[in-house]
Amino acid sequence: MRYYLSKAVPPFTRVLLIESGSRQLLEDLLDGLYDVYPNMQADLLTCYAGTPAKYRIDRGAVYRVGEYPDPASRKRLYAELANNRYSVAGIVCSAEPIMTKWKWMLAARLPAKVFVLNENGDYFWLDRGHWTTIRHFLLFRAGLSGAGAVRTAIRLILFPVSLLYLILFAATVHLRRKLRTL
């Protein structure tokens, strides 16, 4: 993950878009990106068949995660993507468990500045200048913000106590049964 300490935005010359959520979000983003950055070359990493309607296949490559089933092929993909020298990588995080391991592994491995696109079509850069937005995003996804925060925190605190009680109860019942058979 490059540019984490820097608040500067690199040029959108070479971009990797990781389609790990709703396709409509990426189509809306592509429309605006191609208008603002007409010389941008955008590659796409996806798990879906086909490409988004607004994606220009003549100005980028498409990588499908289904073509990299084993660790050796994934390692080759990571190396190829790193050699493409992306300046920016975009990740769709739309509260859908699609390609979760892929997108965060690529965010960590690629030497590119990463932006996160959420389900509302909003985006933020993954850098130290946006740490409050990142913190709020993580708390919201963990259920620790808003009206459900207290309930979630109480569940987290009570879980170990409940688990210990159930284990002790099961051990007591089995021990009593064993003692009766003697």
Task: Using DSSP, state whether 62 is helix, strand or coil.
Answer: strand
Q: Is the pTM of this model over 0.85?
A: no
**Which residues of the chain have a pLDDT value below 70?**
1-8
Q: Which residues, listed in sequence order, are joined to residue 37 by a DSSP beta bridge? A: none
Q: Which two tokens stand for residue 181?
A: 């058979």
Which pLDDT score is estimated for 160? 94
Which distant-in-sequence residues (6+ apart) come within 8 Å of 56 by Cβ? 34, 42
Which pLDDT score is estimated for 63? 93
**From edge to edge, which strands make up the β-sheet containing 88-93?**
62-64, 41-46, 14-19, 88-93, 113-118, 123-125
Task: Say if residues 23 and 52 touch (Cβ distance below 8 Å).
Answer: yes
